[in-house]
């Protein structure tokens, strides 16, 4: 039981008082984000479960409903999001190697692509609104009431289950979009501090951590796209 104490290092301005050094702070930040992403996975997991259950119960209705989604916009959006993930990765890279300008450009691009994704999503939502495909009375005054003929309601599908598909669709893409909006907010925050020159090769944990979040949101979409837009296409894509 010897008496020994660990002295503080000379500290970096970004070092918070309760950490010993930047390395520890970085480790904590990254670990924190990963743990948070685990909660996100479970959060979406509940919806994926509901989706899987009902698709297996009502395959025909889900195929019909899914065929009515705009596959072009969906695919474009997937590309947009993957691209934004790439620019995000580049933002981290440029910070790590200390290229300020390239770092700012990558962040701006990521934000623009993120907004682009949200814009396209909004167009899609609007189409669904026009087709009266918003389930239940989510939008008061515009209840779920698609034209059955439009829907090509084929043998084995029931309108009720089509509506259920759309509820799951809106719940999942809506939650995803919410995460995108939060992500764009976080990126703007990063951009602001990048312009002020806060991040450097020694200290860039926020860029990294927000990058992790952004990639996670991308991954969710990588699953949503085939599940919502693609499965059931082969039964007769309209």
Partner 1 sequence: MQTPWIPFIPPSASTLSGKVDALYFYLVGVTIFFTLMISGVLTFFVIKYRRRNPYEIPRPVAGSLKLETMWSVIPFIIAMTMFAWGAQVFFQQWRPPTNAVEIYVVGKQWMWKIQHTTGQREINELHVPVGRKIKLIMTTEDVIHDFFIPAFRIKADVVPGRYTTLWFEATKPGRYHLFCAEYCGTNHSGMIGSVVALEPTEFDNWLGGNSSQQSPAVAGKQMYETLGCVSCHGAAGEGGRGPALEGIFGKQVVLNNGQSINADEAYIRESIVNPQAKLVTGFGPIMPTFQGQVSEEQLLQILAFIKSLQIETSQPAGRAASPVTAPSPAPASAASPAAANR
Partner 2 sequence: MEEFIPPLPSRINYINAEYGLKSWLLTRDHKRIALLYLGSITFFFFIGGVYAMLIRLELLTPQGDLLQSTTYNKVFTQHGIIMVFFFLIPSIPATLGNFLVPMMIGAKDLAFPRINLLSWYIYMLGGGVTIYALLAGGVDTGWTFYTPFSTTFSNSYVVATGLGIFINGFSSILTGLNFIVTIHTMRAPGMTWFRLPLFIWAHYATSLVMILGTPVIAITILLLAFERLAHIGIFDPAVGGDPVLFQHLFWFYSHPAVYIMILPSMGVVSELIANFSRKNIFGYSFVAFSSLAIAVFGFLVWGHHLFVSSQSLYAGMIFSFLSFAVAVPSAIKVFNWTATLYKGSISFDTPMLYALGFIGLFTIGGMTGLFLATLGVNVHVTDTYFIVAHFHYIMVGGAIFGYLGGLHYWWPKISGRMYPDGWGRFSALLIFAGFNLTFFPQFVAGYLGMPRRYHAYPPEFQVFNVLSTAGASILAVGYLIPAVYLVWSMRYGKVAPGNPWHLPGLEWRTQSPPPTENFDYTPVVTWEAYEFAPPEEMEVVGKYHDQTAEKV
Partner 3 sequence: MSEHIVPVKVYISIFLALMVGTAVTVLAAFQNFPGALNVIVAMTIAVVKATLVVLYFMHVRYSARLIWVIVASALFWMGILFALTFSDYWTRCWLGCT
Q: Which is nearer to partner 2, 6 or 10 (CB)?
A: 6
Contacts of 114 (CB under 8 A, 6+ apart): 84, 180, 183, 184, 187, 214
Q: Are 184 and 63 in contact (CB under 8 A)?
A: no
Q: Which does 6 bind (CB under 5 to 8 A by kind): partner 1, partner 3, partner 2, none?
A: partner 2
- Choose, by CB under 8 A, the member of 31, 122, 123, 181 that binds partner 3: 31
Vertex 222, ends 165 and 57: CA angle to 5°? 30
How far out from the chain centre does Cα 11 lie? 36
The CB-of-237 to partner 3 minimum distance in angstroms stands at: 6
The CB-of-76 to partner 2 minimum distance in angstroms stands at: 28
> Rounded to an integer, what distance in angstroms lies between the CA atom of residue 197 and that of residue 99?
11
Coil, strand or helix: which one is 66?
helix
Coil, strand or helix: which one is 231?
coil
The CB-of-193 to partner 3 minimum distance in angstroms stands at: 20
Q: Which is nearer to partner 2, 92 or 172 (CB)?
A: 172
Query: Which tokens in the block code for residue 128?
Result: 């669904």
> Rounded to an integer, what distance in angstroms lies between the CA atom of residue 69 and that of residue 76?
13
* Rg of the chain in Å (alpha carbons): 22
- The reply on whether position 9 binds partner 2 by CB under 8 A is no
Q: Which does 91 bind (CB under 5 to 8 A by kind): partner 1, partner 2, partner 3, none?
A: none
- Taking CB under 8 A as the rule, which mask of x and - marks residues 179-218 in contact with partner 3? --------------------------------xx--xx-x
Q: Are 128 and 143 in contact (CB under 8 A)?
A: no
- Choose, by CB under 8 A, the member of 20, 23, 130, 150 that binds partner 3: 23
Q: Are 212 and 40 in contact (CB under 8 A)?
A: no
- Choose, by CB under 8 A, the member of 52, 145, 154, 200 that binds partner 3: 52
- Choose, by CB under 8 A, the member of 74, 146, 157, 211 that binds partner 1: 157
> Rounded to an integer, what distance in angstroms lies between the CA atom of residue 190 and that of residue 238?
43
* Residues forming the site for partner 1 (CB under 8 A): 58, 60-61, 153-161
* Residues forming the site for partner 3 (CB under 8 A): 23, 26-27, 30-31, 34-35, 37-38, 41-42, 45-46, 48-49, 52-53, 56, 71, 75, 78-79, 82-83, 85-86, 88-90, 93, 96-97, 211-212, 215-216, 218-219, 222-223, 225-227, 229-231, 233-234, 237
């Amino acid at each position: 039981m010897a008496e020994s104490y660990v002295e503080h290092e000379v500290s970096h301005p970004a070092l918070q008082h309760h950490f010993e050094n930047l390395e520890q702070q970085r480790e904590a930040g990254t670990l924190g984000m990963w743990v948070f992403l685990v909660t996100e996975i479970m959060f979406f997991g509940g919806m994926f479960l509901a989706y899987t259950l009902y698709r297996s119960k009502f395959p025909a209705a889900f195929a019909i409903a899914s065929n009515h989604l705009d596959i072009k916009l969906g695919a474009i959006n997937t590309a947009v999001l993957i691209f934004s993930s790439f620019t995000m990765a580049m933002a981290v890279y440029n910070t790590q190697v200390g290229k300020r300008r390239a770092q700012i450009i990558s962040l701006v691009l990521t934000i623009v692509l993120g907004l682009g994704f949200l814009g396209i999503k909004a167009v899609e939502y609007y189409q669904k609104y026009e087709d009266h495909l918003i389930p239940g009375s989510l939008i008061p005054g515009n209840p779920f009431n698609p034209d059955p003929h439009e829907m090509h309601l084929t043998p084995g599908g029931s309108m009720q289950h089509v509506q259920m598909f759309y509820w799951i669709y809106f719940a999942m893409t809506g939650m995803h979009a919410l995460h995108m909006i939060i992500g764009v907010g976080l990126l703007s925050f990063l951009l602001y501090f990048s312009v002020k020159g806060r991040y450097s090769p020694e200290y860039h944990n926020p860029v990294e951590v927000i990058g992790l979040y952004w990639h996670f949101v991308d991954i969710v979409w990588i699953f949503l796209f085939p599940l919502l837009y693609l499965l059931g296409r082969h039964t007769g894509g309209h």
